[in-house]
């Protein structure tokens, strides 16, 4: 009996030894290098490179093409090798597949611009199960954990935009059309909520009308046409991103309702992005204003925080940064709330605005 027991112990020991050899051969991380963060707690050493996967919702607007250009620049600065971007084209299911693909291709950290703030949660959970830190850029998740959200206060976007309309419109009453982004995105919801909040609380003689566009430019332009024909007292249009502005201006001209900024019958138009083309429209008195959503800072700090996560750095709500922002708590995650000023004829030539950068022409 004792001989059989000893024999079994020797067999078990041999199995353990073989298993140890196999594990050693496979290494501590999947698809990574010795510099990656692994389940055993190894951290990225300063000065070493890492693989950074990027999943975006769109790449077909001025804002996102500029963002991608900046991201490439800052990836080099922070020793990141980019995988992607993979572009979901507003398809939440495709984005989940894209994130799995990026991890399979060896991404050690991820930058994600969520299509849908809630639907992204399973992908975030999968990344967490693989010890892959995620930085969410521009759009915040409403569930699931990320290392950091790099974003500005989108409720404030909506408040500032609609306050601008109410204070620059002719007269003290009338309708304001809100051409919404996708309300499944926290950005779209926040911008709409911010606009409605400031109008109801501070400018109750104005009435907002909401149009759901899902970030689709043709839909937004058609909705603008509807508002122009439906409301004779239309005083302003708030479009929650910059791409539809040219089409809206063309629709105003076709309806015989376009007048330059500052004229008595002018319909105030304000957008959101701060791209160079919007600055050009402001300078020629076609567009009243925009929110300068900082594509350069979004790109820089998304890459920066991906590296910080791999190096084992930690942050907490209430911390101030060296780039004039504060770390805040949002939906159970931390956000670096970057500044995003209103741009109009008074400051459109400010060299500090990213849309005036020489690299943007």
94-135: per-residue pLDDT in tens? Answer: 999 999 999 999 999 999 999 999 999 999 999 999 999 999
Residue 37 in domain: no
| Contact predicate 110/137, CB 8 Å | no
Q: Are residues 258 and 181 in the same domain?
A: yes
Residue 74 in domain: yes
360 compared with 32, residue with greater pLDDT: 360
**Mean pLDDT value across residues 228-238:** 98
The β-bridge relationship of strands 326-330 and 333-337 is antiparallel
**Mean pLDDT value across residues 285-309:** 97
pLDDT of res. 106? 98
Residue 122 in domain: yes
Q: Are residues 90 and 136 in the same domain?
A: yes
Cα torsion 95, 97, 102, 108: sign: positive
Q: Are residues 162 and 278 in the same domain?
A: yes
Q: Please report, rounded to a whole number, the percentage of residues in the chain having pLDDT higher than 90.
A: 83
Q: Are residues 133 and 199 in the same domain?
A: no
Q: Are residues 182 and 277 in the same domain?
A: yes
**Mean pLDDT value across residues 321-330:** 94
What CATH number has the domain bearing residue 136? 3.40.50.2300
Using alpha carbons, select from 203, 198, 201, 231 the residue that is nearest to residue 211: 231
Q: Are residues 56 and 145 in the same domain?
A: yes
From residue 337, alpha-carbon distances to 6, 84, 128, 185 in Å are 64, 25, 23, 17
Residues 95 and 91: their CA atoms lie apart, in Å, by: 6
Q: pLDDT band at 358, cuts 50/70/90? A: low
pLDDT tens-digit readout, 138-189: 999 999 999 999 999 999 999 999 999 999 999 999 999 999 998 988 899 9
Residue 326 in domain: yes
Domain final residue pick, 272, 291, 310: 291
Q: Are residues 327 and 271 in the same domain?
A: no
Residue 7 in domain: no
What pTM was estimated for this model as a whole? 0.82
Using alpha carbons, select from 333, 317, 309 the residue that is nearest to residue 143: 333
Residues spanned by the domain of 112: 50-152+294-338
pLDDT of res. 41? 47
| Contact predicate 252/267, CB 8 Å | yes
| Contact predicate 185/90, CB 8 Å | no
Residue 347 in domain: no
Q: pLDDT band at 14, cuts 50/70/90? A: very low
pLDDT of res. 42? 66
Say yes or no to pLDDT of 8 above 70. no
Residues 214 and 188: their CA atoms lie apart, in Å, by: 8
Q: What is the DSSP letter of 44?
A: P
pLDDT tens-digit readout, 137-151: 999 999 999 999 999
Q: Are residues 73 and 96 in the same domain?
A: yes
Q: pLDDT band at 15, cuts 50/70/90? A: very low
Residue 54 in domain: yes
Domain final residue pick, 257, 272, 291: 291
Domain final residue pick, 291, 311, 326: 291
Q: Are residues 86 and 206 in the same domain?
A: no
Q: Are residues 217 and 281 in the same domain?
A: yes
pLDDT of res. 338? 95
Q: How many domains does the chain have?
A: 2
Residue 10 in domain: no
Q: pLDDT band at 254, cuts 50/70/90? A: very high
Q: Are residues 265 and 208 in the same domain?
A: yes
61 compared with 135, residue with greater pLDDT: 135
Q: Are residues 258 and 306 in the same domain?
A: no
Q: pLDDT band at 40, cuts 50/70/90? A: very low
| Contact predicate 291/348, CB 8 Å | no
């Amino acid at each position: 009996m004792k001989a059989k027991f000893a024999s079994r112990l020797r067999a078990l020991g041999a199995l353990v030894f073989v298993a140890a050899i196999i594990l050693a051969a496979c290494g501590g991380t999947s698809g990574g290098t010795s510099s990656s963060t692994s389940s055993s707690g190894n951290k990225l050493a300063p000065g070493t490179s890492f693989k950074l996967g990027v999943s975006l919702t769109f790449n077909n607007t001025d804002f996102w093409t500029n963002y991608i250009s900046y991201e490439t620049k800052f990836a080099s600065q922070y020793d990141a090798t980019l995988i992607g971007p993979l572009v979901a084209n507003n398809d939440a299911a495709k984005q989940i597949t894209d994130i799995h693909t990026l991890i399979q291709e060896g991404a050690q950290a991820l930058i994600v611009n969520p299509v849908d703030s809630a639907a992204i949660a399973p992908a975030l959970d999968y990344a967490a199960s693989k010890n892959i830190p995620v930085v969410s850029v521009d759009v915040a998740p409403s569930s699931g954990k990320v290392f950091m959200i790099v974003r500005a206060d989108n409720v404030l976007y909506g408040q500032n935009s609609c306050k601008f309309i109410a204070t620059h419109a002719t007269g003290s009453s009338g309708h304001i059309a809100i051409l919404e982004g996708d309300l499944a995105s926290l950005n779209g919801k926040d911008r709409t909520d911010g606009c409605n909040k400031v109008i109801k609380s501070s400018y109750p003689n104005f009435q907002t009308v909401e149009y759901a566009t899902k970030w689709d430019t043709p839909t937004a332009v058609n909705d603008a046409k509807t508002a122009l024909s439906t409301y004779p007292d239309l005083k302003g249009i708030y479009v929650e991103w910059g791409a539809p502005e040219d089409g809206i201006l063309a629709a105003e001209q076709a309806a015989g309702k376009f007048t330059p900024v500052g004229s008595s019958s002018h319909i105030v138009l304000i957008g959101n992005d701060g791209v160079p083309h919007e600055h050009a429209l402001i300078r020629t008195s076609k567009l009243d204003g925009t929110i300068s959503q900082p594509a350069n800072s979004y790109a820089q700090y998304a890459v920066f925080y991906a590296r910080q996560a791999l190096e084992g750095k930690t942050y907490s709500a209430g911390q101030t940064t060296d780039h004039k922002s504060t770390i805040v708590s949002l939906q159970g995650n931390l956000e670096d709330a970057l500044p995003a000023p209103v741009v109009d004829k008074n400051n459109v030539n400010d060299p500090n605005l990213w849309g005036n950068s020489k690299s943007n022409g």
